[in-house]
């Protein structure tokens, strides 16, 4: 079954009661039981819900996995994954991850005894050197947010397997349309469903996909115990969005390729980060493990003042947090997504004050480029 067909049909059946083609939104907290210990597969909606179940089956199919779990946000999903660890355990994390991941690790979970080192995971030797006797997890983001670095999934998976370490990949930027980490041997795939999977900037959610039965059982227990679940309505919204994921991602990808090429010719742009550019350090690796390069680009304008002038001047592109919507969204990582990362750490990983990140939408390409062109002229 092809990707587009799976996106539309996987896990989805007409409602047996009414024949409704669209999955019903089961707005119920509890379920009538036939007898003690006998039910129709559902007891309480914190544990499971029919609408959520359909979404979980759908995303599992798209990621070529066996099990899916739906959470109330990407960070709720990420928190549950880190709760697989115990106090004293060590985790290696890509140095250039979403700022919320850094905030969760350093400012919340470290207080509970978890240890984190943020490493350049594009360098396998650096990953090996960072491993300790108490390392229990490697958490990768590829492409990274916001500098678009690419990590070799197969190499990291093999290293983790050899040390019996859990490997996790945040696949939000690439989506299952462009990349399937489980196929490379990764244990757990994470998505902020808020972004490309939903694609319309109108819901929050997080999704996790995996194959291992023991890890699945533990994550389901954590989810049941902590309650970070996705609501039935949000699950329905995400299912609706996923149906058009393939056509949207193809347009995001083609638009971003042209926008990156345009930015790469502009003298006011100091550097463009996009894995589709031949000059990107991991361009060949991206071609090898991805089926396209996605809709995310970052570029450096050289200073905070220039970035401010540029961001104030855009008209079509919306200055906003988040990404992955049908509309083009533009942001300033240093003061928005990565504000919780210390300034010296931001500079070390390339998140400069002049860096701008754009989530290229599916508008007409000429309109996007015209907007960027007029904003650049104001600098």
CATH for 329? 3.90.1150.10
The 10 Å CB-count burial string (b at 16+, else e) for 340-352 is ebeeeebeebbbb
Looking at the structure, do residues 304 and 366 belong to the same domain, yes or no? yes
Each residue's pLDDT expressed in tens, for the chain with a length of 379 residues: 999 999 999 999 998 889 999 999 999 999 999 888 888 889 999 999 999 999 999 999 999 999 999 999 999 999 999 999 999 999 999 999 999 999 999 999 999 999 999 999 999 999 999 999 999 999 999 999 999 999 999 999 999 999 999 999 999 999 999 999 999 999 999 999 999 999 999 999 999 999 999 999 999 999 999 999 999 999 999 999 999 999 999 999 999 999 999 999 999 999 999 999 999 999 999 999 999 999 999 999 999 999 999 999 999 999 999 999 999 999 999 999 899 899 999 999 999 999 999 999 999 999 999 999 999 999 9
The CA distance from 245 to 195, in Å, is 11
Q: How many CB atoms lie within 10 A of CB 133?
A: 6
Contacts of 37 (CB under 8 A, 6+ apart): none
Eight-class DSSP state of 106: H
Beta bridge partners of 91: 116, 137
Structure tokens belonging to residue 183: 């196929």
Residue 72: inside a domain? yes
Looking at the structure, do residues 283 and 234 belong to the same domain, yes or no? no
Contacts of 22 (CB under 8 A, 6+ apart): 240
34-43 pLDDT, tens digit per residue, is 888 888 889 9
Looking at the structure, do residues 280 and 370 belong to the same domain, yes or no? yes
Secondary structure percentages of the chain, helix, strand, coil, to 5? 40, 15, 45
Question: 3-class SS at 43?
Answer: coil
C-alpha closest to that of 332 among 316, 358, 305, 356: 356
* Boundary of a domain, candidates 242, 276, 302: 242
Residue 314: inside a domain? yes
* Boundary of a domain, candidates 242, 261, 289: 242
* Residues assigned a catalytic role: 46, 98, 170, 195
8 A C-beta contact, residue 314 and residue 295: no
> What is the domain range of residue 269?
245-377
* Boundary of a domain, candidates 242, 257, 276: 242
Domains: count for the chain: 2
């Amino acid at each position: 079954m092809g990707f587009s067909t799976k996106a539309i049909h996987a896990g989805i059946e007409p409602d047996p009661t009414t024949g409704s083609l669209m999955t019903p939104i089961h707005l119920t907290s509890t379920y009538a039981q036939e007898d003690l210990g006998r039910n129709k597969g559902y007891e309480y909606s914190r544990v499971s819900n029919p609408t959520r179940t359909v979404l979980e089956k759908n995303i599992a199919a798209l990621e070529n996995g066996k099990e899916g779990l739906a959470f109330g946000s990407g960070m709720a999903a990420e928190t549950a994954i880190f709760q697989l660890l115990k106090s004293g355990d060590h985790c290696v994390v890509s140095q250039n991850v979403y700022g919320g991941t850094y905030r969760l690790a350093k400012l919340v979970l470290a207080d509970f005894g978890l240890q984190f080192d943020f490493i350049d995971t594009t360098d396998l030797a650096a990953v090996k050197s960072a491993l300790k006797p108490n390392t229990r997890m490697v958490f990768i983001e590829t492409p990274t947010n916001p500098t678009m670095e690419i990590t070799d999934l197969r190499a990291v998976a093999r290293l983790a397997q050899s040390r019996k370490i859990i490997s996790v990949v945040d696949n939000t930027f690439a989506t299952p349309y462009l990349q399937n980490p489980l196929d490379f041997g990764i244990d757990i795939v994470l998505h902020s469903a808020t972004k490309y999977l939903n694609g319309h900037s109108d819901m929050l959610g997080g999704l996790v996909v995996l194959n291992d039965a023991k890890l699945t059982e533990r994550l389901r227990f954590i989810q049941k115990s902590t309650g970070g679940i996705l609501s039935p309505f949000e699950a329905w919204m995400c299912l609706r969005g996923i149906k058009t994921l393939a056509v949207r991602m193809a347009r995001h990808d083609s638009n971003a390729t042209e926008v990156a090429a345009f930015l790469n010719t502009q003298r006011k742009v100091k550097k463009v980060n996009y894995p589709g550019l031949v000059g990107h350090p991991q361009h060949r690796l991206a071609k090898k493990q991805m089926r396209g390069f996605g809709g995310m680009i970052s570029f450096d304008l050289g200073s905070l003042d220039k970035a401010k002038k540029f961001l104030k001047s855009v008209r079509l592109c919306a200055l906003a947090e988040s990404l992955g919507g049908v509309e083009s969204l533009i942001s300033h990582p240093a003061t928005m997504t990565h504000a919780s990362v210390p300034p010296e750490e931001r500079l070390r990983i390339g998140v400069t004050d002049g860096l701008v990140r754009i989530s290229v939408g599916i508008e007409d390409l000429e309109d996007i480029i015209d907007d960027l062109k007029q904003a650049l002229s104001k600098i």
